[in-house]
Amino acid sequence: MDFDLSEEQRLLKESVDGLLADSYDFEARKKYMKEKGGWSKAVWGKLAEQGLLGLPFAEADGGFGAGAVETMIVMEALGKALVVEPYLATVVIAGGFLRHGGSAAQKEAHVPGIIDGSKTFAFAQLEKNSRYDLHDVVTSAKKKGDGWVIDGEKFVVLNGENADTLIVTARTSGAQRDKTGIGVFLVPADAKGITRKGYPTQDGLHAADITFTNVEVGADSAIGNPADALALIERVADEARTAVCAEAVGAMDESLKTTVEYIKTRKQFGVAIGSFQSLQHRASDMFVALEQARSMSMLATMAADFDNARERATSVAAAKVQIGKSLKFVGQQSIQLHGGIGMTMEAKIGHYFKRLTMIENSFGDTDYHLRRVSESGGLL
Amino acid sequence: MDLAFTKEEIAFREEVREFFKTNVPPDTRRKLQEGRHLSKDEMVTWWRILNKKGWGVTHWPKEYGGTGWTSVQHYIFNEELQSYPAPQPLAFGVSMVGPVIYTFGNEKQKKEYLPRIANVDDWWCQGFSEPGSGSDLASLKTKAERKGDKWIINGQKTWTTLAQHADMIFCLCRTDNNAKKQMGISFIVFSMKSKGVTVRPIQTIDGGHEVNEVFFDDVEVPVENLIGEENKGWDYAKFLLGNERTGIARVGVSKERLRRIRDLASKVEAGGKAIIEDPAFREKLTACEIELKALELTQLRVVADEGKHGKGKPNPASSVLKIKGSEIQQTTTELLMEVIGPFAAPYDEHGDAGSNESMDWSAQIAPSYFNNRKVSIYGGSNEIQRNIISKAVLGL
Mean pLDDT in residue range A103-121: 98
Structure letter (DSSP) for residue B96: I
Rounded to the nearest integer, the mean pLDDT of chain B is: 92
Q: Which of B283, B291, B394 sits opposite A260 (nearest CB)?
A: B394
Residues 6+ apart with CB under 8 A from B13: B5, B76, B80
Q: Which of A295, A298, A379 sits opposite B289 (nearest CB)?
A: A379
- With a cut of 90, say whether residue B313 has pLDDT above it: no
Indicate yes or no: CB of A260 within 8 angstroms of CB of B262. Answer: no
Q: What are phi and psi of B361, to 5 degrees?
A: -55, -25
Distance CA B181, CA B240 (A): 18
Q: How confident is the model at residue B351 (pLDDT cuts 50, 70, 90)?
A: low
Mean pLDDT in residue range B225-252: 87
Choose between A304 and B222: higher pLDDT: B222
Neighbours of B300 (CB within 10 A): 23
- With a cut of 50, say whether residue B221 has pLDDT above it: yes
Strand partners, B222: B150
Q: Give chain A positions within 8 Å (CB) of B290.
A: 296, 318, 321-322, 370, 373, 379
Q: Tell me, what's the pLDDT at B305? A: 82
Q: Give chain A positions within 8 Å (CB) of B303.
A: 1
- With a cut of 90, say whether residue B303 has pLDDT above it: no
Indicate yes or no: CB of B2 within 8 angstroms of CB of A291. Answer: no
Q: Tell me, what's the pLDDT at A170? A: 98
Provide the shortest C-alpha distance from residue B94 to chain A (in Å).
Answer: 27
Q: Tell me, what's the pLDDT at B3? A: 84
Q: Tell me, what's the pLDDT at B350? A: 65
Q: How confident is the model at residue B354 (pLDDT cuts 50, 70, 90)?
A: very low
Task: Return the residue in A72, A284, A325 with the most chain B beta carbons within 10 A, the one to mutate for interface testing.
Answer: A284
Q: Give chain B positions within 8 Å (CB) of A281.
A: 383, 386-387, 390
Domains along chain A with CATH numbers: 7-119 (1.10.540.10), 122-228 (2.40.110.10), 231-376 (1.20.140.10)
Neighbours of A230 (CB within 10 A): 21
A337-368 pLDDT, tens digit per residue, is 999 999 999 999 999 999 999 999 999 999 99
Provide the shortest C-alpha distance from residue A378 to chain B (in Å).
Answer: 5
For A274, the closest chain B residue by CA position comes to B396
Provide the shortest C-alpha distance from residue A23 to chain B (in Å).
Answer: 27
* E strands, chain A, in order: 121-124, 140-144, 147-158, 165-171, 182-188, 194-200, 206-217, 222-223, 267-268, 271-272
Q: Give chain B positions within 8 Å (CB) of A283.
A: 390, 394, 396
What is the set of active-site residues of B? 244
Q: What are phi and psi of B103, to 5 degrees?
A: -95, -40
Task: Return the residue in B2, B3, B76 with the most chain A beta carbons within 10 A, the one to mutate for interface testing.
Answer: B3
Quote ipTM for the complex: 0.95
DSSP string, A332-358: HHHHHHHGGGGGSSSSSHHHHHHHHHH
pTM: 0.94
A38-85 pLDDT, tens digit per residue, is 999 999 999 999 999 999 999 999 999 999 999 999 999 999 999 999
Q: Which of A69, A280, A374 sits opposite B396 (nearest CB)?
A: A280
Q: Tell me, what's the pLDDT at B355? A: 43
A251-299 pLDDT, tens digit per residue, is 999 999 999 999 999 999 999 999 999 999 999 999 999 999 999 999 9
| Total residue length of chain A | 380
Q: Tell me, what's the pLDDT at A132? A: 97
Q: Give chain B positions within 8 Å (CB) of A3.
A: 1, 300-301, 304-305
Distance CA A241, CA A363 (A): 6
Q: Tell me, what's the pLDDT at B311? A: 61
Q: How confident is the model at residue B360 (pLDDT cuts 50, 70, 90)?
A: low
A204-254 pLDDT, tens digit per residue, is 999 999 999 999 999 999 999 999 999 999 999 999 999 999 999 999 999
Q: Which of B297, B383, B387 sits opposite A299 (nearest CB)?
A: B297
Q: Give chain A positions within 8 Å (CB) of B300.
A: 1, 3
Q: Which of B1, B279, B389 sits opposite A2 (nearest CB)?
A: B1
Q: Tell me, what's the pLDDT at B66? A: 96
Q: Tell me, what's the pLDDT at A307? A: 78
Mean pLDDT in residue range B261-265: 93
- With a cut of 80, say whether residue A13 has pLDDT above it: yes
Strand partners, B333: none
B165-210 pLDDT, tens digit per residue, is 999 999 999 999 999 999 999 999 999 999 999 999 999 999 889 9
Indicate yes or no: CB of A1 within 8 angstroms of CB of B396. Answer: no
Distance of CA A5 to the CA centre of its chain: 22
Q: Give chain B positions within 8 Å (CB) of A76.
A: none
Task: Return the residue in B9, B73, B297, B299 with the most chain A beta carbons within 10 A, the one to mutate for interface testing.
Answer: B297
- With a cut of 80, say whether residue B257 has pLDDT above it: yes
Q: How confident is the model at residue B331 (pLDDT cuts 50, 70, 90)?
A: very high
Q: Tell me, what's the pLDDT at B361? A: 66
Indicate yes or no: CB of B390 within 8 angstroms of CB of A283. Answer: yes
Structure letter (DSSP) for residue A192: T
Distance CA A228, CA B134 (A): 64
B103-138 pLDDT, tens digit per residue, is 999 999 999 999 999 999 999 999 999 999 998 999
* Chain A interface residues (partner B, CB cutoff 8 A): 1-5, 69, 260, 263-264, 274-275, 277, 279-281, 283-285, 287-288, 291-296, 298-299, 301-302, 318, 321-322, 370-371, 373-374, 378-380
Q: Tell me, what's the pLDDT at B358? A: 46
Distance CA B136, CA B380 (A): 10
Indicate yes or no: CB of A379 within 8 angstroms of CB of B386. Answer: no
Indicate yes or no: CB of B293 within 8 angstroms of CB of A298. Answer: no
Q: What are phi and psi of B59, to 5 degrees?
A: -95, 0
Task: Return the residue in A5, A7, A71, A288 with the most chain B beta carbons within 10 A, the one to mutate for interface testing.
Answer: A288
Mean pLDDT in residue range B224-237: 97
Provide the shortest C-alpha distance from residue B253 to chain A (in Å).
Answer: 13
Burial class (CB in 10 A: 0-12, 13-18, 19+), A269: exposed
